[in-house]
Structure 1
Amino acid sequence: MVREEILRAVAETKARDLRSEFLVVPEDLGPEDLRVVFQIAVQIGRADVQVGELAEGRRHDPESPSEAISVVGVPGVRPDRRVGEKINRMTATRPRMNQSVEPEDLTAYAFLSEPSLSPDASFVVIAVHRAILDKDEYEGNLWVVPRDGTGPRELTTAGKDSAPKIAPDGKRILFTSKRDIGKDDKGNSLYLIPLDGGEARLLLRRKEGIEGHTWSPDGRRILFLSNVGEDEEDVRTIRRINFWFNDKGFVYNLRKHVFVLDLETNTVRQITKGEVDVAKAAWSHDGRRIAYVAQTEDLRPYIQDLFLVDAASGKTTQLTKHDMEIASVTWSPDDRRLVFLGNDFPRGFASHVHLWSIKGAGGKPERLDSLDRNLSNSLNCDIRMGGMNSEPKWVGDRIYFVVAEGGAVHLYVLRVKDRKAELLVGGNRSVEAFQATEGAVVFTAMENGYPPEFYSWKGGKGGIRSLTTFNKDLDRNRDIRKPERFTFRASDGATIEGWILRPAKKGKVPTILYIHGGPKTAFGYSYLHEFQVFAAKGYAVLYTNPRGSDGYAEEFADIRGHYGERDYQDLLEAVDFAIAHYPFVDSKRLAVAGGSYGGFMTNWIVTQTDRFKAAVTDRSISNWWTFWGTSDIGPYFGRDQIGADPWDDEETTLAKSPLRRVKNVKTPLLLIHSLEDYRCWHGEAIQFFTALKYYGKEAEMVLIPKENHDLSRAGKPKHRVARLKAYLRWFDTHLA
């Protein structure tokens, strides 16, 4: 609260020229004390200033002149100035006016990813990406971030760089780049650059792509993954299913394998072969073996197995037997065991991923954790770019890993000896990526719904320290709205968590119920540019984690066979709660929107009720029968979620399809779909739109070329802006 003595002193100068006046500011007054208490009109020459306005704002930077109370002759509240020191200004400064967040402000964010921690833990190298609207692309550069807090420095400036990996000697940085690849050409390259700067050196270029690159422990070799096979450009002859994959295109004739680049001989050797697709690989600490995760069954691509291969001879040993999903792999410090994230499908695709260990000599995997939460980050966010790097890290006698807890993602550590897990980094944050060594943990995180920064954790009294300010200015020059968390008791007694984003506009406002995808993902403390745009245009945004969401118990996440039932009730009861508890929500101007599973639910909702005055369905499902045969995950995901194959239970398949009830739709519906979406094929939108128009319903369809299921979070910047403008046009038309 602003202290009374300050406001009283300002009020007493109301009729006088303030050029020679100053306030004595109490020493204990900090930036957090600057809050609006009441409005006082102050006349300074011919300028009218509202003191309440000057003190307004949630965050204040004591180093920024614009953050001080800017009444002429009144000292700014700045810790770097002496108590009572006069600021010599001769004119009044108007209170700053934050700009509203526009769709084009996608370019304002720094996307932080892929931290690599030096061997001595003194610095980190991260990738920083930004959207460039006029080029319609994303630029990425590498930054060195010292852990002592002296501030980051830019290491590369080509705008095409990502995925840094610090060499074991701490003096060289390996990274992938497209700096020598044409805009329409395929593939990427490996580069090496000295830590102290200089020219980056090209190591390898592959049109088949390079990913998962990792230094050998001796720094002489580099492991990487790359495709094998010819990518046909014209006529395609296909002999297996899973022939296309979202964001990858046609993959039916490609297999991904492990390769090793020898830096001394400059030769590349393929390590794995055969009809498998390798997803992850890791060196043993002695550099003699490589552990890798591979998909071995085309009909069950969600099943992976764990293998060991001798790096010299190529001799391969299979450790697991076709019964688990395996999402990562890392070695124990003594190379005797492997730890991985995985699950054995106790609840199908509603199952949580857990921490498992297996002996390097083989045997049965053992689960290490006892948490009834998912050990993965599935929070919805549209300002991520590059790898998240949140896989477990085994350091000494401890294993570090992330845990989804409600709308947050926290960092935990597990003691291997007693298998006790302890919270390391909690709070209202989403830990996006992390690295750990003895005595040092660094991580990227989004806090309280704000864009990401990079942090260092030190045990004991060291606490958490912010190391970057890439996105700090956003809150000073744009009106970033803070989400308000709530919980309510559903009609069956379950607790449902949600958030509402309140616009600056006063009075009753139209409100959008937004539904996440998955269904096993979640909303929470990650940032969504999309929601900020809606709030800036005067819409409240209501978003919740209904049944089916991640971040809670497995039972909560399991809605297999029950789409459109308890999840539907949770969503509508969230609307009831918002209307009852937030007076600004206009019950007569409600909209519903969502993407993927959220698109399915939007389609479902408008066939069940006319409560909403407008709806937008994005990358949706309208017909489970066609989804089964066209989606890259259709044959196994559709059966798991609906409970049947179409021809074995036609009634269930159609009963759960919104298309069957298209005649019921009364809500004006906008359908948005990408033409290269192989997760939910654009035929889902086309057939629903066709049926709507056939029956005389109000509907429009926006089809976006050269984009896939990830348009909203990774599409071309201009297409992302166009998508948001389509939403706004529809809402403005129907909710005015």
Structure 2
Amino acid sequence: MEKLKLDDFIRYKFLSNIIHSLNGEKVCFTVNEADLDSNKYLSNIWIYYNEDNTYRQLTSSNEDKMFLWLGDNETILFSSLRDLKDKEKVKEGEVFTQFYKISINGGEAKKAFRISKKVTSIKQIDDNTYIFTARFNLYNKELDKLSEEERNLELKTQKEEKDYEILDEIPFWSNGVGFTNKSRNRLYIYNVLTNSYNLITDDFTNVSSVNLNDKKDKVIFIGQSFENKMELENSIYVYDLLKQTIEKVETPYTVMHGYANFIDDNKIVYIGKDMVKYGMNENSKFYILDVKEQKTTCITPDLDCNLTNSVGSDCRYGISPASSIQKSGDNIYFISTEGEYSYLNRLNMNGEIEKLTSNNGSVDDFSVNDNRDILFIGLRDTKLQEIYLLKDNKEHQISEFNQWVKETKSIIKPEKITVETSNNIFIDGWIIRPVDFQEDRKYPAILDIHGGPKTAYGEVFYHEMQYWANEGYVVFFCNPRGSDGKGNNFADIRGKYGTIDYDDIMKFTDVVLEKYTFIDKDKVGVTGGSYGGFMTNWIIGHTDRFKAAASQRSISNWISKFGTTDIGYYFNHDQIGATPWDNQEKLWDHSPLKYAHRAKTPTLFIHSEEDYRCWLVEGIQMFTALKYHNVEARLCMFRGENHELSRSGKPKHRIRRLKEITDWFDKYLK
């Protein structure tokens, strides 16, 4: 077997967006891959044929992503920037989405229509009508509604206005999007024959989770309306396409909704939570609303798990959380995170849940069509993403996009360890031995801490961990309290950041170093991103046991994070339990920066210039503190990147990031 190389991820195939045709006979999905020459990701649509279990590439422009099946079951509508003239117009600042049609039976893609908006989702109502969502800034004018002279003037004005940012609401920016002040994801209806669209929602409502009823005469969506400050609460709305009216759906037991759909003309199924007991990280439950009787019933009162996949990996691209819940026939299919795995489940309207997949990794995306065979994209065992068929309660791998990794590279299966860290509190963790392991040798080790904190590690493929194991490191990691997978009580660390979670991680480290005597206790490093970056910063201020640290996209000061990041003003209040005005001392007590003067550990800081989730100032403050106190420190800042650098950053930047971290550990641990 060959050793896994730092840049091998360039050759991985990342799968996403798997969707059945309306009759269920065929399936399309997106294949994404990194390209070093262009320093971006190439995306094309592929097709899978149920009848003979074969698949082939359908499009080839490397620019093809969002798509849907049209009603004839033979045609795909997709968005793309394959035309050079279109690319130039985008460079000049014009905003639009160009749609193409392609037959699955062969032939070239043909232009279908263009919408003068940045379309974020689209669904077909009939041959000539579509419902779509698109981002629009209230400070901009509708270009397609202007004369050519007015349009050119508006484009010129918008270009000049790029030198300024006007902020009059919070949040005013969003990670991965940029400045979002007065920008909303709005709902529109588009007519192909007239090449025109009409706005359905108002100027200040942000729209998500859009679904059509079976007759396609009503639309249900989640809406969040605000003008000055976005709150966590949102609402469910129904738009009647015939009457052209919107009605708000009253849901008395919940204030945060994540999904809604029609069961029939009189009933709605949705998920929601009231956040009273566990705050914003509380797990949602399924509800059914009888519209006529205005009666809401929780059909899963005992369900206590995250209704999406939160098992971490750095080997996914293009997966949308919106696809984690889907309705098919009379059932709801959903992904759940339980323990270190994510599962696909089937829920009937009586609240009965059937687990469809096994303890074998993660389910990343899936597609179901009227109770036919189910297809899903998953990370199974220590393999990279592939497509699997669920048939007769068994999983059958049908793709081999990444089979070469398993067959040619040295991949080590993580060994599970369960540790009692407090009275009757058990946490799960894992250790990856180095490639070519020898019992009589001593090895350096890296403790890797996940983000969130409400996510989870599992046994799925993690490129950076497997690479470090190939470079002669022991890698160990765990799910401390605050992690996902073990219910609300386990995940609830509000007001306790840096206390019980830190104790869990340190106790786990103690057990690992005691049990695995081949680890050199004097050559152990620590790293983590986001919450893991916070914990890395916290650790170096509370212990000197680690020889080196690499803090990534971190949090160092809850006071500054409160007022500068896209989620700070509500996340900090909810999770730390204070604001700068009612209890500044508590925010400071939980801030790693308070303890930075104690740090002695050489620390590398990795941060992205456009990370608005954990803004650059968080890394700079900690870096400055260490330098001020004469501790070895280095900061590597990536321009043009955001909070997702390690998972979907530009390929060259992902290579540099992993090289920076590995070189830092090599310097101090080898």
TM-based fold match above 0.5: yes
Q: Which residue of 1 aligns with 2:530?
A: 596
Output aligned runs, 1:49-448, within 5 Å. 98-180=1-83, 181-182=86-87, 185=91, 188-206=97-115, 208-216=117-125, 218-229=126-137, 230=140, 232-297=161-226, 299-320=229-250, 324-332=255-263, 334-345=264-275, 346-360=277-291, 363=294, 365-369=296-300, 370-388=302-320, 390-416=323-349, 418-436=350-368, 437-448=370-381
Partner of 1:688: 622
Distance in 2, matches of 1:301 and 1:473, equals 47
> Aligned with 1:706: secondary structure?
coil
After superposition, where does 1:469-508 map in structure 2 within 5 Å?
469-506=400-437, 507-508=441-442
> Higher relative contact order by CA 8 Å / sep ≥ 6: 1 or 2?
2
Kept in 1: contact 2:344–2:363 (CA 8 A): yes
- The Cα shift of 1:116 comes to 0.7
Shift of 1:361: 5.1
- Contact preservation (8 Å) 1:353, 1:376: no
Aligned to 2:604: 670
Per-residue deviation, 1:220: 3.8
CA shift in 2, pair 1:280/1:588, >3 Å: same
2: distance between equivalents of 1:558 and 1:578?
25
Distance 1:327 1:219 in 2: 29
- Contact 2:236–2:248 at 8 Å: present in 1 too? yes
Asked whether the 8 Å contact 1:355–1:375 carries over to 2, the reply is no
Give the Cα–Cα distance (whole angstroms) in 2 for the partners of residues 553 and 246 of structure 1: 27
Q: Deviations over 1:526-577 (max 9, x none)?
A: 3221212222211121111100001111000000000011100111111122
Distance in 2, Cα, partners of 1:198 & 1:583: 62
**Structure 1 residues 573-624: Cα deviation after superposition (integer angstroms, max 9, x where no partner):** 1112212333332222111100111100000011000000000000001000
* Total equivalences in the alignment: 634
Q: Which amino acid is 2:342 matched to?
A: V
Relative to structure 1, is the Cα distance of residues 106 and 470 closer, same or farther in structure 2, using a 3 angstrom cutoff?
same
Q: Distance in 1 between matches of 2:459 and 2:293?
A: 40
Aligned mates of 1:189, 1:385 — CA distance in 2: 22
1:457 and 2:390 are equivalent in the alignment:
yes
- The 2-side partners of 1:339 and 1:176 are apart by 30
Any conservation in 2 of the 1:271–1:311 contact (CA below 8 Å)? Answer: no
Q: Does structure 1 conserve the Cα–Cα contact (< 8 Å) formed by 2:118 and 2:136?
A: no
How many angstroms apart in 1 are the aligned matches of 2:459 and 2:294?
40
Distance 1:212 1:585 in 2: 50
Shift of 1:682: 0.3
| Partner residue, 2:148 | none
Distance in 1, Cα, partners of 2:476 & 2:401? 28
1:337 and 1:525 map into 2 onto residues whose CA distance is 40
Tell me, in whole angstroms, the C-alpha distance in 1 between the residues paired with 2:409 and 2:255.
46
Q: CA deviation at 1:159?
A: 0.5
Residue 341 of structure 1: how far off its partner (Å): 3.0
Question: How far off is 1:479 after superposition?
Answer: 1.6
Amino acid at match of 1:582: Y
3-state secondary structure, aligned to 1:535 = helix
CA distance in 1, matches of 2:96, 2:626: 42
AA in 1 matched with 2:388: Y
Task: Give me the whole-angstrom Cα distance separating, in 2, the residues matched to 1:383 and 1:662.
Answer: 33
**Aligned Cα root-mean-square deviation (Å):** 1.9
Give the Å deviation of 1:302: 2.7
Classify 1:273/1:204 alpha carbon distance in 2 versus 1 (closer, same or farther; 3 Å).
Answer: farther
Structure-2 separation of matches of 1:342 and 1:495:
29
- Native 8 Å contact 1:177 1:189 kept in 2: yes
Opposite residue 299 of structure 2, the aligned amino acid is: L
Determine the C-alpha separation between the residues in 2 that align with 1:239 and 1:688. 30
Larger deviation, residues 340-349 vs 688-697: 340-349
User: C-alpha distance in 1, partners of 2:61/2:479?
Assistant: 41
Q: CA offset at residue 733 of structure 1? A: 0.3
Residues 147 and 456 of structure 1 are in contact (CA less than 8 Å); yes or no, is this contact kept in structure 2?
no
1:304-335, CA deviations, whole angstroms, 9 ceiling, x for partnerless residues? Answer: 21101122442110014695222222222x34
CA distance in 1, matches of 2:250, 2:622: 43
SS at match of 2:287: strand
Is 1:563 equivalent to 2:497 in the alignment? Answer: yes
Paired with 1:200 and 1:357, the residues of 2 have a C-alpha distance of: 42
- Helix, strand or coil for the counterpart of 1:580? helix
Quick one: which amino acid aligns to residue 249 of structure 1?
A: G
2:155 corresponding residue in structure 1: none
Q: Whole-Å Cα distance in 2 between the matches of residues 329 and 219 of structure 1?
A: 25
* Separation in 1, partners of 2:351, 2:286: 11
Contact 1:350/1:560 (CA < 8 Å) preserved in 2? no
Q: Is the 8 A contact 2:445 2:474 kept in 1?
A: yes
Amino acid of the structure 2 residue aligned with 1:375: L
Tell whether the 8 Å contact from 2:128 to 2:191 is kept in structure 1 after alignment. yes
Q: Deviations over 1:56-78 (max 9, x none)?
A: xxxxxxxxxxxxxxxxxxxxxxx
TM-score under structure 1 length normalisation: 0.83
Q: Does 1:734 align with 2:665?
A: no
Task: Give 3-state SS (helix, strand or coil) of 2:259's partner.
Answer: coil
The aligned amino acid for 1:430 is S
How far did residue 225 of structure 1 move?
Answer: 0.8
Alpha-carbon distance between aligned partners in 2 of 1:206 and 1:730, rounded to the nearest angstrom? 48
Would you say the 8 A contact 2:44–2:59 is kept in 1?
A: yes
Structure-2 change in CA distance of 1:175 and 1:362 (3 Å): farther
Cα distance in structure 2, aligned partners of 1:382 and 1:365: 40
Deviations along 1:624-645, one digit per CA (max 9) or x if unpaired, are 0000000100111001111110
Q: What residue in structure 1 maps to residue 146 of structure 2?
A: none
Assess if the C-alpha contact under 8 Å between 1:258 and 1:272 holds in 2: yes
Partner SS state of residue 112, structure 2: strand
* Distance change (3 Å), C-alpha of 1:421 and 1:484: same
Note if 1:576 corresponds to 2:510. Answer: yes
Structure 2 SS opposite 1:285: coil
Distance (whole Å) between structure 2 residues aligned to residue 178 and residue 379 of structure 1: 32
Range 207-216 or range 419-428, more displaced: 207-216
Q: Helix, strand or coil: the match of 2:403? A: coil
In the alignment, structure 1 residue 702 sits paired with structure 2 residue 636: yes
Q: CA deviation at 1:187?
A: 5.3
1:281 to partner: Cα distance:
1.0
Contact 1:394 1:400 in 2 (8 A): yes
Contact map agreement 2:363 2:377 (CA 8 A) in 1: yes
1:693 partner SS:
helix
Indicate conservation of the 8 Å contact 1:439/1:458, yes or no.
no
1:212-236 per-residue CA deviation (whole Å, 9 max, x = no partner) reads 21222x4442221102223741212
If the length of structure 2 is used for normalisation, what is the TM-score?
0.91
